[in-house]
Amino acid sequence: MAQPQKSFDAYFKSAFTVDNVIFGFDNGQLKILLIRRNEAPFDNYWGLPGYFVREGEDLDAAAQRVLREVTGLKDVYLEQVKAFGTPGRHDFGRVITIAYYSLVKVEDFELHAAGVAQEVAWHSVSDIESLAFDHEEIVQVAFHRLKRSIRSRPIGFELLPPAFTLTDLQHLYEAIWELDLEKRNFRKKILSMNLLKDLGRSQKGVAHRPAKLYSFDEGRYRELEEDGFNFELKEGKRK
């Protein structure tokens, strides 16, 4: 006996969005790019740069398009983090979002709010609260991914300026791990990796004793990025 044909209508009643978690580092703080929304739901709330995926559009392409259209950022490397699909997360119905994250140099981009964004700005990760939808959860998942990744991958090439001090690099690690690290231990560990180039010059125009300036050895950086390593430090005081 022939089996009755199944109806798949019930499986095609979901919408998809993409949300981008963009981390930057500025003035010793780990920051995240947020937009202030101009449409319901969560009109006038801060949230992640995100919007709906168009019919027939690739997810990765949608993430790049949405980021460009609402913030002005383009040609940003984006990595998928996780799908978030808890029923009720969106007022319009069943909406599943695919979260992406990236690390960028704040000074490399000029922000332009458009589309669903009435405003776009960098916010300190430590000050984020009351975001639209479940965006606080998405930020925390991406933040934990970042915390884990720096134990096995180098960090800083995408976040620090071309010339930086060892203190700048330590502050970056401290901001991500939310710890105060022991200075001598950190420097010994980071220098042993042969990851940095001494530029042979020091800071200028500072009130304190000028510190040496370094840059990343890009070849060595990409090698460690590919092969991985174990970057473990004795934990300092929790911030």
The residues annotated as belonging to the active site are 119
Task: List the one residue out of 106, 104, 94 whose CA is nearest residue 11.
Answer: 94
- The DSSP letter of residue 69 is H
CA angle 161, 188, 165 (to 5 degrees): 20
Percentages helix, strand, coil for the chain, rounded to the nearest 5? 30, 30, 45
The structure tokens 């004795």 sit at 234
Task: List the one residue out of 176, 38, 49 whose CA is nearest residue 100.
Answer: 49
Task: List the one residue out of 80, 26, 16 whose CA is nearest residue 51.
Answer: 16
For 228, residues 6+ apart whose C-beta sits below 8 A from its C-beta are: 152, 153
Do 186 and 236 contact (CB within 8 A), yes or no? no
CB neighbourhood size of 194 (10 A): 11
DSSP 3-state assignment of 231?
Answer: coil
